[in-house]
Structure 1
Amino acid sequence: MKHSKLVGLACLGMVALSPLSASAQTAPAPTSSVSLYGVLDIGLSRVSNVGGSGITRVDDGVSQGSRIGFRGREDLGGGLAAIFNLEMGVATDNGTLRQGGLAFGRAAFVGLSDQKLGQFTVGRQFDQMVGALLRYHPGFNTGIYGMTPGDADRVAGAWLDNQITYVSPDLAGFKVAVQRALSEGGTSATNAGNAWSASATYGNGPFNLGVATTSIQGHTVRPGSSYGVSQFLGTPLATAATAFVLPEYQATGIGASYAFGPATVAALTTRSTFELANGASDAMKTVGLSLSYKLGELILSSGVQRAKLASSAWTTVTLGADYYLSKRTDVYVTYNARKASGPNTRAVLVTNGPSSDDSQNALRVGIRHRF
């Protein structure tokens, strides 16, 4: 009797699992998708003073980094999905790859996403400074030229290799993320030692808030070409390209914004701490305010930031007008100006060479298309 019951149950199970069974025919099949996306930004820039001369050039990726990416998702059932992202940075003006020629320098990661538990990924991606804080930076609406000197606080966007990243689900507008990047015996191109990054963000209606921090052992900086200084933490620079590998580097920031109808006010403060092998240390401290106003398809923006490191300081003013021809295509005009002060301190807008004096400005007209 027991034997016959077991046989019957086995047969029933085989029928239930059969692709011809009614339940199998009506059960929803797991879905998967792969999408191609990108941003192409290009325009004409006039920089007032680079090494003593004004420069006019076709420049790309200023308002937003040009890129082509592939994003995929496979539904595994029960709210679980496999995800991946491959994204390459491209120079629209000449067709070459950005990020030092890496095939997928902007993103290369794979992982799992669960509706209740959050997202877990492994690979190369941005640290948490950009995702949590960029929207509050005065340079957000005017592009890379208006970002913090040398992008010292990494808010413009910087990567870490060999990342293990966890992002929580959205809990009533609140979300946290934690990242750990392994040095892999000092072979990592982004961090000679271990690195970590974390953020907490909140968004509910007109109010948004972000807090982030990143710590890196073996972070490389070139303060002469990036900040326009002649010495760094008391050490004279042999050349503007002199590099320092910092045993300890940490950037922390907090930003917030509030929308009053078509107007949005944002504020951001950051602190980037540098430490040399000889024990010398100091921090670049910044505070910035910005205002944007939407008039139909036109967005007007302005902002100011003050940055200070030791006896050097920089004041940056940003102005922008961005008109959307469609949801995907916009044309814009931006103006970014930086004034330096302090002994032997020159002005330098991000991605440009240092000025021969204490001021540098850039006027740009550009077009951006997203797909």
Structure 2
Amino acid sequence: MKKTLLAAALCGAFTMSAHAQSSVTLYGLLDTSLVYTNNQLGHSNWQLSSGTTQNTVFGLKGSEDLGAGLHAVFKLEQGFLMNNGAQAFAGSAFGSQAWVGLQSDPYGTLTFGRQFDVMNDAVGPLTAGFNTWGGSIAAHPFENDNLAANSVVVNNSVKYASPVYHGVTFETMYSFSNKAGDFANNRSYGFSLAYAEGPLNLAAGYLQFNNAGNGSGAVTTGDTSANFIAERQRVWSLGGNYTFGAATVGLVWSHTQIDNVAGVFSFGTGTYLGAAGDATGTLGGSLRLDNYEVNAKYALTPALSVSGAYTFTHGAYNGSSPAWNSAMLQTDYALSKRTDFYLEGVYQNAHGAPADSVLSHAMINTLSPSSTSTQVAVTVGMRHAF
């Protein structure tokens, strides 16, 4: 009897120890809003929307202590729409993220699966489009540089993230096409470098997609992760911000080169515009875009904040020089650390593109394109994190 009790006690102790060294967390973010737009496909519109500023998601994340500073880590995350409960990534059980890997305290983290790219990890947080104080609706035109709030998720990815060395972190990734005999068709790769010390944050990165949207592979049209259907898309980005007191001010530059572009995804319509010609015009040839963003956020009180951003985008397209002016202003009130309300306005004006091109129409991210060169949207919404 004594031996049996001792064995049971030891088993219990080992079980408690194992549980203490492992953790699994259920988490999520809910974002819903009422949006007014002055022009969507030629009509003004009131709509109940989901994910106007941040992706609405739920997920599981976990870590197991393997000893000697080594941990097994994973994340499974699905996006969905608050207004109707539908999956954000149709047909995917965990379309937002699905990865597993090893984390070493002294050597960094290596992960495998469906993940956000490394440039979005590093430079994205310096933009208004990535953060709750601006969000997806404040993204640069057509989300051309993939810096907004995690809109592009890359399949078949191997990612390495270094530990922090004197404020510096480095990330790199490679995403396979998984195509026999066609290794480079629809693959992706990139790297980023970031520095954070006290009030100063700096980051830079490079990202490349080869034949994005060409069937299965790294970035597909089936799950709408491909912002552009093109032979090649290359993005360079650089940014920084500085916090002094209750204010944070940031600057971001990005350069996007898109070769043999055939179509661009419209989040508002759920389709690719321009590929075969449509109501908004055609799209083809080469496209170059430079985005210059200045942003600021100020906390009036611990609960009340205001923020704003302005982006000038200069382009080159088949001999023309299209350009966009985009501006955002938001005020946010937090009821608690997990629940807040926001009021946000976004303005976009496009000019200089050929009249028969998709580029001649203003198209605020998450909304259907305007029938003219100007679009204005105002949204009031609620967010809750758990």
TM-score range, shorter chain: 0.7 to 0.9
Which among 145, 159, 167 is matched to residue 165 of structure 1?
159
Q: Separation in 1 of the partners of 2:287 and 2:136?
A: 25
SS at match of 1:349: coil
SS at match of 2:119: helix
Which among 90, 94, 98 is matched to residue 104 of structure 1?
94
Which among 213, 217, 220 is matched to residue 210 of structure 2?
217
Which among 135, 156, 168 is matched to residue 143 of structure 1?
135
Residue 367 of structure 1 pairs with residue 367 of structure 2:
no
Superposition deviation, residue 19 in structure 1 = 8.0
> Equivalent residue for 1:330?
340
Q: Separation in 2 of the partners of 1:307 and 1:271?
A: 10
Q: Separation in 2 of the partners of 1:285 and 1:273?
A: 9
Cα pair distance change 1:281/1:128, threshold 3 Å: same
Q: In the alignment, is the contact (CA less than 8 A) between 2:128 and 2:138 conserved in 1? A: yes
Amino acid at match of 2:297: S
Q: Separation in 2 of the partners of 1:167 and 1:366?
A: 34
> Equivalent residue for 2:40?
50
> Equivalent residue for 1:70?
60
Residue 184 of structure 1 pairs with residue 178 of structure 2:
yes
Q: In the alignment, is the contact (CA less than 8 A) between 1:138 and 1:304 conserved in 2? A: no
Amino acid at match of 1:34: V
Instruction: Provide, for residues 202-260 of structure 1, a one-character-per-residue CA deviation record: whole Å limited to 9, x for no partner.
Output: 11110001111111111249xxxxxxxxxxxxxxxxxxxxx974222111101100011
> Equivalent residue for 1:350?
365
> Equivalent residue for 2:249?
265
CA RMSD of aligned residues (A): 2.7
Q: In the alignment, is the contact (CA less than 8 A) between 1:44 and 1:364 conserved in 2? A: yes
Structure 1: gaps spanning 5 or more residues: 1-17, 222-242
> Equivalent residue for 1:250?
234
> Equivalent residue for 1:285?
290
Cα pair distance change 1:66/1:245, threshold 3 Å: closer
Superposition deviation, residue 280 in structure 1 = 5.2
SS at match of 1:100: coil
Instruction: Provide, for residues 69-121 of structure 1, a one-character-per-residue CA deviation record: whole Å limited to 9, x for no partner.
Output: 10011110111110110000011111111023411011000011010011011
SS at match of 1:97: coil
Q: In the alignment, is the contact (CA less than 8 A) between 1:220 and 1:244 conserved in 2? A: yes
Cα pair distance change 1:81/1:246, threshold 3 Å: same
Q: Separation in 2 of the partners of 1:277 and 1:210?
A: 28
Cα pair distance change 1:40/1:312, threshold 3 Å: same
Moved over 6 A (4+): none
Cα pair distance change 1:114/1:293, threshold 3 Å: same
Q: Separation in 2 of the partners of 1:290 and 1:245?
A: 30
Instruction: Provide, for residues 318-348 of structure 1, a one-character-per-residue CA deviation record: whole Å limited to 9, x for no partner.
Output: 0000111000000000000001111321111
User: Identity over aligned residues, as a percent?
Assistant: 32
Amino acid at match of 2:139: M
Q: How does 1:8-27 map to 2 (within 5 A)?
A: none
Which among 178, 181, 193 is matched to residue 186 of structure 2?
193
> Of the two, which has the highest radius of gyration?
1
Q: In the alignment, is the contact (CA less than 8 A) between 2:228 and 2:261 conserved in 1? A: no
Instruction: Provide, for residues 153-189 of structure 1, a one-character-per-residue CA deviation record: whole Å limited to 9, x for no partner.
Output: 011121110001111011121101110000011799x
Q: Separation in 2 of the partners of 1:359 and 1:101?
A: 35
Q: In the alignment, is the contact (CA less than 8 A) between 1:210 and 1:255 conserved in 2? A: yes
Residue 152 of structure 1 pairs with residue 144 of structure 2:
yes
Structure 1 length-normalised TM = 0.83
Amino acid at match of 1:126: F
Amino acid at match of 1:346: H
Q: In the alignment, is the contact (CA less than 8 A) between 2:123 and 2:205 conserved in 1? A: yes
Superposition deviation, residue 146 in structure 1 = 1.4
Structure 2: gaps spanning 5 or more residues: 1-5, 215-226, 263-283
Q: Separation in 1 of the partners of 2:97 and 2:340?
A: 25
Superposition deviation, residue 29 in structure 1 = 3.6
Structure 2 length-normalised TM = 0.80
Q: In the alignment, is the contact (CA less than 8 A) between 1:257 and 1:267 conserved in 2? A: yes
Q: In the alignment, is the contact (CA less than 8 A) between 1:186 and 1:193 conserved in 2? A: no
Amino acid at match of 2:176: L
Q: Separation in 1 of the partners of 2:315 and 2:7?
A: 68
Instruction: Provide, for residues 12-69 of structure 1, a one-character-per-residue CA deviation record: whole Å limited to 9, x for no partner.
Output: xxxxxx989x9xx79x944111100000000100011011111100001112110001
Q: In the alignment, is the contact (CA less than 8 A) between 2:52 and 2:366 conserved in 1? A: no
Q: Separation in 2 of the partners of 1:134 and 1:181?
A: 19
SS at match of 1:247: strand
Cα pair distance change 1:192/1:99, threshold 3 Å: farther
SS at match of 2:123: helix
Amino acid at match of 1:202: Y
Q: Separation in 2 of the partners of 1:294 and 1:186?
A: 53
Residue 303 of structure 1 pairs with residue 321 of structure 2:
no
Q: In the alignment, is the contact (CA less than 8 A) between 2:307 and 2:330 conserved in 1? A: yes
Q: Separation in 1 of the partners of 2:259 and 2:43?
A: 34
Residue 86 of structure 1 pairs with residue 79 of structure 2:
no
Amino acid at match of 1:303: A
